[in-house]
Amino acid sequence: MSLANLQKNITALEKQIYWLDISIQECRLIGIKEKYTVDEFGRFETLCGRFARSIDFVVRKVWRSIDDFEFENQGTLIDVVNNAHKRSLFEDIQEIRMIKEIRNDIVHEYIEEGLLDVFEDVLAFSEKLINIMLVTLHYAKDLK
């Protein structure tokens, strides 16, 4: 059962990486500015959503399924993150904390002006998130 779950999450992670990367490239072309067109704002809003869903998916689904596959005690989300760090799925614990803070800013922001403040951080940390996702993908594929 855990191999099937891991395989399902690997496939879904590949799709997450693909769509997140598309949003990153689109928003890099737009760049950070004081005022956005409706289309530009929509593209950044899409990036923010994909960013938030991606970190949630990696931590809650993929890292947990790796723990399960390797018979690791999952415990809390902090335990899951610590296990991922031990596996070298990411280098800097501060980066993960910052990514989670940005994610929290995104999901708790309900007005346009507040979301505008997040765009620069999302764009800056998206590449780091993609790298974490790619390292995780390679690690998970090697388990099979």
Domains and their CATH numbers in the chain:
2-143 (1.20.120)
Contact 136, 63 (CB under 8 A): yes
DSSP 83-113: HHHHTTS-S-HHHHHHHHHHHHHHHT--SHH
Global pTM reads: 0.92
**Terminal CA-to-CA distance of the chain, rounded, Å?**
13
The pLDDT value given to residue 75: 82
Could you report the per-residue pLDDT of 62-75, keeping only the tens digit for each? 999 999 999 877 68
Judged against a pLDDT cut of 70, whether residue 142 lies above it is answered with: yes
* 137 CA to centre of own chain: 12
**How far, CA to CA in Å, does 67 sit from each of 19, 38, 73, 75?**
25, 42, 7, 10
- Single-letter amino acid code for the residue at 38: V
pLDDT greater than 60 at residue 21 = yes
Q: How far apart are CA 28 and CA 44, in angstroms?
A: 10
Neighbours of 1 (CB within 10 A): 7
pLDDT 10s digits, 106-140: 988 766 677 888 999 999 999 999 999 999 999 99
pLDDT at 49: 95
User: Is the pLDDT score of 1 beyond 60?
Assistant: no
Predicted pLDDT at 110:
66
Cα 60 from chain centre: 11
- The Cα angle at residue 66 between residues 62 and 69, in degrees rounded to 5: 135
